[in-house]
Structures are given as structure tokens and as C-alpha cells.
Structure 1
């Protein structure tokens, strides 16, 4: 064993000695450098910080006035953050600082909205931080002491007494998770410190946190187009012979290739991708949960990418060519065209000022009039995958979604148009094929809708 280790160590010693006596290595060639589709982390953070400032400077005042909110208090504790947290903080902030209390006070159009952080920092200069008090230690040295525990509630009370708001908005809601971030424990601590007079002035913030989370700026739109292109690229590669070998590759192999590809790019995802198969002459149960992909199969994927806190959500269809085929059968292409037509309908009905339920009702009426057998279950997207804003149906709630579906679409908001159309396919003996598609769209500041990148109108082909 000793002689074996000696033989192993000799070449290692020669290698390290050679490295020590040679000049420093030249920079790695471009091909060997890590792929950074959106730049370095520092470059990404700089861009995100600009988005934050725009959101707080532009969207916040308009939304506070729209909802009639003079003062908004958002308290939270570390690792139990309010859902609105990502819309309020810098890209270098990952959690609340022990306890952080954000206070927003609208002083009118001329003075604007005052932004205070009681605990935590300025978030890159967008808040006035009141995070410390001057204290003298045992050696007579004056130091900054972090605001924590009951002291923070006392400072909040002082802030209220200085400003004397008629009402105080807090995030409590039985309808929207995004507007229900104030925990019971924080509510108890706050009301105990504020006393009955101020507690009587607390009221729900309504749709303010929902729409603030949903609001997107112009540069976010530019970035999102690039992010969506990347998601498309990963799907196109996953549904190709670069990844799939008919008769040898399982659906789980494609799923994990997608996950690994996203990870290798230094990015993330907000859900586990899925890949499924529809097969001529077979039911879903007969195909099985993780089948080998065979020639003649119809493929479907559901896939999302997360970068710079933003999320995509895409569902595409693929087809594995049989021997001698150069394209999908006409019946399958017609099925895809029907789901495309349903996309057109929802796209045309989506506009600011309409509720999700209104859009769903109008879309389904047009769908039925055109003889499409389909389902609409579209949703907002952005800082969350299933994002803040109005639901446009659920797969099992095609009559409408009370509460969440009653919220109205705003300009500068994004949606995933998610739906399916089921069609009989002649080449499969009339067997029904489900064409489920999902593409992200953006409403700009004027309310005009456009595809974030484009939408799928032809099958991805595995040859």
C-alpha cells in the first residue's frame, strides 16, 4: 500500500512543482468561462436597484392615492416576511432585519411619499432609516444600538404621533394572500404598543400591496423578453434530439436536463418542470407516469425560469416524428391551431380595468361560439410565478373565481395566458388530444398587450 501511494504522489508532486515555477496562467479562454446570460451578480443587482427605485418613486404614490391610503405600515420579522417584501427591498436584501417596519406616508403630490425603515437599512438609499438609537456603554463610549423588540413599536408610535394620519393601512385580507402579510403575533405586538386610539384607525390596505407587487417598469419589460427567450431556448433544446433519443429517453430525463440546465446557467426555477406524453391508442394511465418517449408521441412540458426575482411560465407542445415523417400529422397541427385560437381570444379580452372574471366570461363565450372544447386558467406573473392580481379562471372554476377573480387588471402588469383545447385527431382514429399551452404576455404603461417574446404556433420536433 505504501508503494502504491508513492507511485500516486510522484506525478502529483511533479505537477505541482511545475505549476509553482511557471508564470501565472493567462486568463481562461472565453469558451471556458461560466455562462452569464444576464451579466454578473453585481450587474444584475444594479439593474434591480433601478427597478426598485422606479417602483417606489412612480408606482407607489399613484397606487396609494388610487386606494385612498394616507399612511401604510408594513411590519415583519426575519424569515417570516410579508409577501410584499420583494417589491420593497434592494436586491442585496434577502430577509428582514430581525424586525423591520416600513412606513409609507403620502404628504401629497408636491411633497410625495415619505419612506421610512424602522430597523434594517436604507435599501440603497430609497428609505430614511431609523434603525438605531444613541446609547452610552459601560466605558462611557456612545454607540449606535439596533432598534429591536418593543423599542421599534415605540418608534412607530412616535412616527404616527408626529404625522397624525386619519387612518393607517395594514396588510390583512381574507381574499388575497399578497395583501395578508401581517402576522397575528405582529398585530398583537403593534396594537399593544400603539394603544386603543391608534388601533382604532387601522384598516385593510386592500389592493395596494397586490398591485404594487404586480407593477412592472419599462426596463423590466426589456429584461423579461430576454428571460422568456432563454426559457424558449431551453425548451427547444429539451424537445430535440440533443436531449431525446426515441425509445431510450424517459420523460424524467428531460425534466432533470431542464433543471440542470437552469442551474448551470446560475439561475433558478419556482417549480419542478414536468414533461408528459400522449400516445395514439393509449390512455394516460396506460402510458404511465415516467414513460420512455417513443416515435409518434405528443409531448407537453411546463417549465419556468427565475432570474432577478422575476419568473417565467411556459407550456409547449412537441412531437416525436415517426420513421419517414417530416412534420406532425395534419390533425395534430389542427389541434395546436385551436389552442392558438383560444390564446388569441384571451389575449384580445385582456385589458386594464376589467376583472379576471369578466375576462374569463367573455373568453369562454367566444370559445363556445367558435366550437372550441377548452379551459381557461390564466394568471398574473412577475415577482411570483402565480402572481399578484386577478385570476382568470382555474382549471376547476370555469364559472369564475370569487374574490381573486374580481380584482381588476392594471397597466404595467404581466400575465401567463394558460389554457387548453381538446380536439379529436383523425390520424389517431378520432382519439382526443389535449393541446395545453402557456405563454407570458406584458401590458405596457398604456395598457397595450404583447407577447413577452412570441407564442408557439408549430410543434417542437424530435427527429
Structure 2
């Protein structure tokens, strides 16, 4: 039977006190939420995000526009129908487009740099020049500077184009990348109708530009990502321990909800609900059902992600519930984990800027087969989205490669979730295959070198 709510609440209080070093004990008279701010106050977080935005706009954007041959980039969107690239181009205090926001980027060359204009919407902490309009805003006939709105904005855009005379104008339309396809059909119709055939003829797809603008990460974002991954590790380590799990009592969904609640209590979010699953000797997945009670001798698996300061983690770890009298994990299970670790090595060794996702996948799978590993690789970028912008390295059901999404190339200063699984027969379980599925985040640095964002799992989490 399920543990009563009061028991689960007690477990939460205990784990909250134990899981975070230096946390205030529950009976201290202080608020746990006030005591635990893993990434600082909201103000500190937003200031940090603003510094990231400034560096992205001043350092990465000009380089990427020139790499893709984009002279001018226009990104229109309406409130609550934001372009996917929106979150890479605005401050931490901007949660939605304002009415209609049109962002314009014009590359004036290496000396003058990229001019950043916004036709509607805020200046994003002074990083954009706001283009306003004069109009009557009251019955007295007074002309005042007003926020542009509606069809007037398209005319303002046309005026910007006429003044600046770009040879081509990049827009976010793509049949390959969702991240490069943010221009809605209605916005496209309104824009082209106002611009007319001459300017419409100069529109062209932005290609991989929005993809790589989303993918690019700064050095301080890397430092933050290490902190974020460490927190993910800490939460998983507590979830897969006797602090949260009582064999024979705790259901897998109890653990999932504990992980989700833990994030909420820390003032953080997640981009997917945590999942926990069980593999058991002599029992099939169908026999286990959707929400089994965790028993001694079970192999545990979790998939868990944190969202903080708009950045996402993605982690899959393995756990083991010791049987009575056991002091360590059976050798066969250790070997299963070692095989998935080896498969991680192969992926990391092949992750290099300039290579496509499909190229990396083919190479890794060839090496995997040579080493006799029975596995699959389905790694992906991570960052401002969980399944983020960049080249996909396989899908769990598309090991032959992913046309389009897998043909994009990796860039320096981006992140990946190395996600994969290796299946191994376990002698102690009578040869029953056990799936060791792991996912660990890595950083591809500005120098192209790959390192674990925090560390990787090489030993099972233990429930004693």
C-alpha cells in the first residue's frame, strides 16, 4: 500500500534538511525557501542573465550573422506567440513579446557592428534602440511619442528597410528546424502585404542563424550550468536513497513527485515531469505495471531535468536497492553500467565542432559494434530548451540518422546531453538483459574541447 500523506510529508522535511548542505533545520523558525536560494535572489539571477544577453548580442550574434551571410535579420512576433529564438534575444525580465515586437538586426560591418532595433517592445536593458512613432493619443490633438502597434508597425519596418537598403533580409522560415521557423503565417502575410513586392523579393530564410544563436553559450553560462547540474545530482542522490525510498512501501510515482516537489520548494521549475522506472529479476515490464512498489534487488532509473534562469539540464541515472545482507551492487550490474559508460566515452570522443550529428552518429555506432556493445545513441543539444537547438545525434528509433536535423553542424560554445543506453545480460539474474540508460550533460567549450558539465555517473546510487 502507499505511504500515507503524512509519512511522505515527513520524508520531505527530512530530505530537505539533509539534501542541501547548510540548510536551515525545519524547526529553526526560518523559512526553508528563504534559507535555500541555490542561484541567488531573483534580482541577482536577472542581472546575471542580462550579462549573458549582452555578450550574446555583442559577441556571438555578429559572428554568426557573418558566418551565415546575413546582412539584415528581421524577427517579428506577437504577444504569446513568440518566436523560439525570442528567449535568446531578450532580458530575463521579458516574459512575452509586447503587443507585436519586431526585432531588427543590421550588420554594418566589423567596424560599426550590428545595429539592434526594436519596433515595439522594450529596450531590453538598453541593448536595443527603440523605434517609436508620433501620434495623437488623446482628444486634445496633442502629438506624443507612442508605442507602435498594429499595421503601423509594418510601415515602420518598411521605412527602416528603405532607409538602410539591405540587399537581403533574413526571416525565420524553415521546413527543417522548428527553432528557425518562428515567423507565423499571419505575421508573414501582414509583413509582405505592407512591404510590397520589391522588398518581399529580398526576403530569404535565415537558415541556421536562429539555431546557432539559441545554441551559443557564454563562459559564465558554463559556470552556472555546472552549478545547475550539481543540484540535479544532489536531488537524484537523495531521491535514490533511503531518505526517500523505503523498500516494500515506496512507489515509483512517490519518488517522481518528491523530485518535482523538491524543485518547487527551491523556487525552481522543470521542463518535463520526472520519471522513475524499475527493472526486476524475473519480472517483465508488463508485469511490473505503471506504478510498482520498489523492492530490494530492484534496478532503478530516473530521467530528471531542472529549469533555472531559462537554462535546462537533462540527466538520467541508475540506482540499485540493496538486498538484505548485500553491501555492494552485483558484479554483472556493475559491468552493465561500465558498458554504458564506455558508450559515453565513444560519443564524447566524437563530439567536435564542424561535424554533423549524422556523421557523429555513424562513427559512434560503428565503433560501438566493433567493441561488441549492444546499445543505441540519441543525444541532443541542451540549453535554452531541453531538447535544444542544434544537431540531433540520432533518435532512439532512428539509428540510421536524422535527415535535416542531423545534418546541422556542431559549433564551439554549446552544450549537449549525451543520452544513450547499453543493454547487457546479467549473470546474477540468469542472463536476463538489463538496460543501463544514462544521460549526462557536457560542455563544448570555445576551444572545441568537451568536458562534463559537472561529472558523470560511474557507480550506482544505492538504497540501503
TM-score range, shorter chain: over 0.9
Q: What SS does the aligned partner of 2:324 have? A: coil
- 2: CA distance, partners of 1:431 / 1:369: 23
Whether 1:225 and 2:226 are equivalent positions in the alignment is yes
Which residue pairs with 1:159 in the alignment?
160
**Aligned residue-pair number:** 437
Q: Any residues of structure 2 matched to 1:120-199 within 5 Å, and which?
A: 120-135=121-136, 137-199=138-200
Which residue pairs with 1:264 in the alignment?
265
The Cα of 1:135 is off from its aligned counterpart by: 3.1
Instruction: Note if contact 1:120-1:131 (Cα within 8 Å) is conserved in structure 2.
Output: no
The Cα of 1:345 is off from its aligned counterpart by: 0.3
- 2: CA distance, partners of 1:401 / 1:125: 41
TM-score after normalising by structure 1: 0.93
Whether 1:440 and 2:429 are equivalent positions in the alignment is no
Which 4+ stretches in 1 moved above 4 angstroms?
27-32
The Cα of 1:142 is off from its aligned counterpart by: 3.7
Q: Any residues of structure 2 matched to 1:293-332 within 5 Å, and which?
A: 293-332=294-333
Instruction: Note if contact 1:45-1:92 (Cα within 8 Å) is conserved in structure 2.
Output: yes
Which residue pairs with 2:7 in the alignment?
none
Q: Any residues of structure 2 matched to 1:339-354 within 5 Å, and which?
A: 339-354=340-355
The Cα of 1:30 is off from its aligned counterpart by: 8.1
Cα offsets for 1:375-396 (capped at 9, x unmatched): 0000000000000000000001
Q: What SS does the aligned partner of 1:341 have? A: helix
The Cα of 1:335 is off from its aligned counterpart by: 0.1
Q: What SS does the aligned partner of 1:33 have? A: helix
Instruction: Note if contact 2:415-2:442 (Cα within 8 Å) is conserved in structure 1.
Output: yes
Which residue pairs with 1:370 in the alignment?
371
- 1: CA distance, partners of 2:341 / 2:259: 25
- 2: CA distance, partners of 1:136 / 1:95: 24
Which residue pairs with 1:407 in the alignment?
408
Instruction: Note if contact 2:117-2:128 (Cα within 8 Å) is conserved in structure 1.
Output: yes
Q: Any residues of structure 2 matched to 1:4-403 within 5 Å, and which?
A: 29=30, 33-135=34-136, 137-403=138-404
The Cα of 1:146 is off from its aligned counterpart by: 1.9
Give the alignment's Cα RMSD to 1 decimal: 1.2
Q: What SS does the aligned partner of 2:163 have? A: helix
The Cα of 1:295 is off from its aligned counterpart by: 0.2
- 1: CA distance, partners of 2:398 / 2:328: 36
- 2: CA distance, partners of 1:116 / 1:314: 38
- 2: CA distance, partners of 1:115 / 1:365: 46
- 1: CA distance, partners of 2:255 / 2:29: 31
Which residue pairs with 1:424 in the alignment?
425
- 2: CA distance, partners of 1:261 / 1:142: 53
Instruction: Note if contact 2:33-2:265 (Cα within 8 Å) is conserved in structure 1.
Output: no
- 2: CA distance, partners of 1:254 / 1:133: 58
- 2: CA distance, partners of 1:379 / 1:256: 26
- 1: CA distance, partners of 2:351 / 2:320: 30
Consecutive unaligned residues of structure 1, counting only runs of 5 or more, are 1-26
The alpha-carbon distance between structure 1 residues 380 and 150, as it changes in their structure 2 partners (threshold 3 A), is same
Instruction: Note if contact 1:121-1:131 (Cα within 8 Å) is conserved in structure 2.
Output: no
- 1: CA distance, partners of 2:103 / 2:240: 46
Cα offsets for 1:37-65 (capped at 9, x unmatched): 00100000000000000000000000000
